[in-house]
A and B are shown apart, each in its own frame.
Chain A
């Protein structure tokens, strides 16, 4: 069960040539270093620590979704900028409140992913400032974006019920990575960048969400959770919808 990466402590090892030999003998299960019950209880701890603020981000997200859904010209420039800033805050919150303090102690990879989430937050802020954001002109992107956002905000928190787990383990937008990433993909579909810098930033902003969905889906499948299908389905929907015209 050799791992080709550093651990989360200061004395962590590093990858070397020997560590990747016989790589074909490894399966995703070899990289699952915690029990599912421990992973799910992280969200219980997260929700307990942030209660009742845990409800703020999903509530604001639902209000934004309902407002945008009423008119195909929405979001306008201000609403799109607001969404990008809110998403930046959400990515930073996920890194600071979940990845680093809760997940990293049981999963060495989280110590590296947390700074990446911070970079994504900076990227979204730059997109808000420089992107010239507005509503997408593609009906397909709009429908997919609304569906993804709606799922991330309203349905994903109910996933524990599928596994017979308590709702105290709900993963909510703005604190847990999966719904935050799916909501981000939804907003990226709903918005359009009009400046050259914005188009570059917009395309770059897809990279980490897609990578996270792949990693999280693999982890969830290895744990035997059907939630992996939601992540995989969400990212596939987003990529297909964005195929013709991207930010």
Chain B
């Protein structure tokens, strides 16, 4: 038997980004059952959720918020016949956090079929959250049929264009982007020229030490283009954020947690509260994944985000609904 190597050490840092493939996979593997990933000085640290002492230490900071995603209200297929119950479980998880989050981000696919009653149900369930402030971006399922008109009527107040906007919380600049409109045949997510221009202007006057959080439905990094898991013009958007010391990109859409660190940018996707999807290329299509009932809640979840000023990084804790 070969000697055991230190499994936490970075062995292959091909991109010189402080993370090797082994470390990335380990982080991914933990994410399925809940993990805390912290980037500190360019080095990714991850802790399993069974290590509460570390989490308690990391989970404190100036700003704490929660990301939920892909509630797909109205979905009733075998992969999860009760998406109301699982969204309620996610809210219970948020309400049980030791420090109430400042706000909630919903990164899209609020509904399954853009039906008014589906939006109403989600709004109603969110009212039971101890945190009342919720920020949204649309998923492709929220802008079916009507070019996103209903979405904008409900959530578009104080937004630009198809619903993009930015705001500041405790020194952190947050930007909600829309990449699910005007999709081109053969392509992936799309931001479009108008939104990119707005983004460039929006961050122009910020100091480079401002922590920036960008959230959008479809991944802003190319996770798996074969399944359309990426955004065609995300590179241009990210080029406007290069000069910032700390950028965190939060996405949904792929119904599983994944994380990647590239320079000063941490990319993270959240689990769905409705149903899991397969790992990239692990199935014939990215459709809903049917798992044994007792495993379902272990694959759904919420993401807790903490900003600690002196660490100059945002800590992300994924936890499942179990």
**Real binding pair:** no
Using a CB–CB distance below 8 Å, which chain B residues touch chain A?
A: none
